[in-house]
Structure 1
């Protein structure tokens, strides 16, 4: 292995660890006194601060027209504020490892929404087979036919977060593509908007109640916001620019594996063979839906592959931009 390939492998490993650990940090913050909405606010604010600092340092300018900011309000709600809250809500009753696995269903929902909207014209049989296989894996994870199955409001909230991500990609691909704004700055603006939306929701959801979090919760949410939401996007952005979307796409398939491993090692979460088989089935289905014909950009393109971000914990506007480009080239 050359030094260059070793460097790429290390960056991919670090990125997978930071992104995949997001579900662990959410669980720790919940267990030590923070509410789902408080976690959402802290995560958005800290992530926005990191991306703003990087964008400004690189000379990128935030969008200035009202129309773009209007679209960013919808994108921030569907792609950040709502799913971040739903992950916190779901992990109140569901293990962090399962949350990471259910998050991996996002590309399946993206394909299903694309078929419903007519943007997926004549999907190949292998992609449709992947869709069926992926949802079969999800059903295996839920196991509603068993009393010990995971079917419940917490799991539904997690699945709702994945659906929200998918809906956001469809919306952003239509409204935020070709705006002429640097993707890094556009994503920073998106998280700034998500911060405002989540802060506005605090009074209605009782988020202004006294914070009874201990040091563990505070450390968890700081790591989640700064590293799991801010720096991870920048690392992924650089990996795409330097190595191409094909290399970065591998990270997406590592995220549920990382969440399962960390849940077991750090939190002692027991994950049965049914959930493991379901996870592998979902990932196999996702791989089939991404198949050949899904164009990705080569090094230097500066665009993030949707297959990476849609199975990650921090989707951004660049995923939708890349999705639209891929659709045009299909």
Structure 2
């Protein structure tokens, strides 16, 4: 895809990306009014696959031909699409869309944690360890263990954390086995989402058989969720990485919970307990620390004379 024109309005694409990913949890909640969790995932992946295929066709973007790449992308598709989408959709039967969006914001923390374990070059510096500790302290606050540990709500919150763990593993797998090949992001996203759609179509006769109650509200939500949140968002993210760099583009993660919580309160009248936004702020602070965005704190923690590399990549959403 030519970069001429695609990066003309990076700030506008940044805002659209934050809105698309932040609103995804609202559209999941609306989709669940007439569909089962598996049917929501099937609809969003099929709509996203169609959108990305159309964009690839118009831009004359060639898809990878190496079978090994397709095999790796099948694994990535399960980790970044099928499994987390199913987990979040299932969870939103018991918890609000705003709370789900807060848990989604832990993705960079999960990615950092997995990278520290799986990638030898990702050494656990004091700054990263402090960021991880702060972030997961925020997660504990959001969980609110003083409210009790029983019921479906806790299981749903655990499902959200398991979904972001899938994201963390998926991003590290992508970085280790696919990114070094230098393939265009749009073609990778098209194959990834397309394979996810095929996997869900294959599984549908067993997991997506619940009665369907369609309405304009439900259909519209699934189409927007798929075409924008699972389709166009990949293009906007690719353009932002090209225009601003991966580290700056990844700051969209800071805005998605704000969008998700705001929409959940405004449109679905979801209640918000005090500990949820406070915990979300601590999670975001942990992300900022782990990514080295608080330069003063990082300088204070580094040993004297330590030289740091510039322009490190932050965790990316696929």
Name the TM-score, length of structure 2 as normaliser. Answer: 0.87
| Deviations 1:229-257 (CA, angstroms, capped at 9, x unpaired) | 11111122222223433542332210111
Q: 2-side partners of 1:296 and 1:56: how far apart? A: 33
Tell me, what secondary structure is at the counterpart of 1:232?
A: helix
In the alignment, which of 295, 307, 312 is matched to residue 315 of structure 2?
Answer: 307
Deviation at 1:110, TM superposition (A): 1.5
| Residues 82-231 of structure 1: pairs in structure 2 closer than 5 A | 82-119=83-120, 121-147=122-148, 152-205=154-207, 207-231=208-232
Deviation at 1:38, TM superposition (A): 0.7
Q: 2-side partners of 1:110 and 1:246: how far apart? A: 14
Q: 1-side partners of 2:286 and 2:29: how far apart? A: 27
Q: 1-side partners of 2:176 and 2:249: how far apart? A: 24
Deviation at 1:63, TM superposition (A): 1.3
Over the aligned positions, Cα root-mean-square deviation in angstroms equals: 2.3
Deviation at 1:118, TM superposition (A): 4.7
Q: 2-side partners of 1:193 and 1:230: how far apart? A: 13
| Deviations 1:35-77 (CA, angstroms, capped at 9, x unpaired) | 1111111111111111111112222111112111111111100
Q: Is the CA contact 1:252–1:307 (under 8 Å) kept in the aligned structure 2?
A: no
CA 1:133 to 1:151, structure 2 compared with 1: closer, same or farther past 3 Å?
Answer: farther
Match of 1:250 in 2: 251
CA 1:306 to 1:59, structure 2 compared with 1: closer, same or farther past 3 Å?
Answer: farther
Structure 1 residues without counterparts, runs of 5 or longer: 1-5, 298-304, 310-315, 317-330
| Deviations 1:76-128 (CA, angstroms, capped at 9, x unpaired) | 00110111111100100011001000011111111222222253543221110
Q: 2-side partners of 1:289 and 1:126: how far apart? A: 6
Tell me, what secondary structure is at the counterpart of 2:272?
A: coil
CA 1:40 to 1:151, structure 2 compared with 1: closer, same or farther past 3 Å?
Answer: closer
Tell me, what secondary structure is at the counterpart of 1:307?
A: coil
CA 1:85 to 1:174, structure 2 compared with 1: closer, same or farther past 3 Å?
Answer: same
Match of 1:29 in 2: 31
